[in-house]
Amino acid sequence: MIRVLLPAHLRTLAGVSGEVMLEVGGAVTQRSVLDALEAKYPMLCGTIREHGTMRRRAFLRFFACGEDLSHGAPEALLPEAVGKGVEPFLVIAAVAGG
């Protein structure tokens, strides 16, 4: 199982608390994880990746295993620890000042 941690406002939208657990068939990539996430929680479509272009929304980032994977290719393999469920795939919202 792949572990995904969403930012608070997306956990509210999806109606979940804590980490989300996903089954991902085949290669574990940014794209396959997000495809599986949106398939399980369709209310998240368009909120992490833009409709149409499927680009990462500018103020969200993808972290895992202490690395910023935001600019990685969508089809690049994620770290092995993510694929094995040892480490979560983190969707992080940019900090906002006040």
Partner 1 sequence: MSKVRLLVGTRKGAFVMTSDGKREKWEITGPHFAGWEIYHMKGSPVDPNRLYASQSNGWSGQVIQRSDDGGATWVQTGNKFLYDGVPGTHQWYDGTPHPWEFKRVWHLEPSLSNVDEVYAGVEDAALFRSGDGGGSWEELSGLRGHGSGPHWQPGAGGMCLHTIILDPSDPARIFIAISSAGAFRSDDAGKTWKPINQGLRSEHIPDPKAEVGHCVHHIAMHPSRPGVLFMQKHWDVMRSDNAGDSWREVSGNLPTDFGFVIDVHAHEPETIFVVPIKSDSEHFPLDGRLRVYRSRSGGNEWEALTKGLPQKDCYVNVLRDAMAVDSLDECGVYFGTTGGQVYGSSDGGDSWTPIVRDLPAVLSVEVQTLSSGSPSGSQALASGSQTLASSLA
Token pair in block for residue 90: 């983190």
Q: Which H/E stretch holds residue 4?
A: strand 2-5
Tell whether residue 96 is a contact of partner 1 (CB under 8 A). Answer: yes
Question: Phi, psi at residue 42, to the nearest 5°?
Answer: -60, -20
Judged by CB under 8 A, does residue 93 bind partner 1?
yes
* Residue 11 backbone phi and psi in degrees, to 5: -65, -40
The interface region with partner 1, picked from 27-35, 50-58, 63-71, 82-90 by CB under 8 A, is 50-58
Least gap, CB of 43 to partner 1 (angstroms) = 5
Binding status of residue 40 toward partner 1 by CB under 8 A: no
Q: Which of 5, 16, 60, 77 binds partner 1 (CB under 8 A)?
A: 60
H or E stretch including 64? strand 60-64
3-state secondary structure of 54: coil
Residue 39 engages partner 1 in binding (rule: CB under 8 A):
no
**Amino acid identity for residue 94 in this structure:** A
Residues contacting partner 1: total by CB under 8 A: 20
User: Residues interacting with partner 1, by CB under 8 A?
Assistant: 7-10, 12-13, 43, 45-48, 50-52, 57, 59-60, 93-94, 96
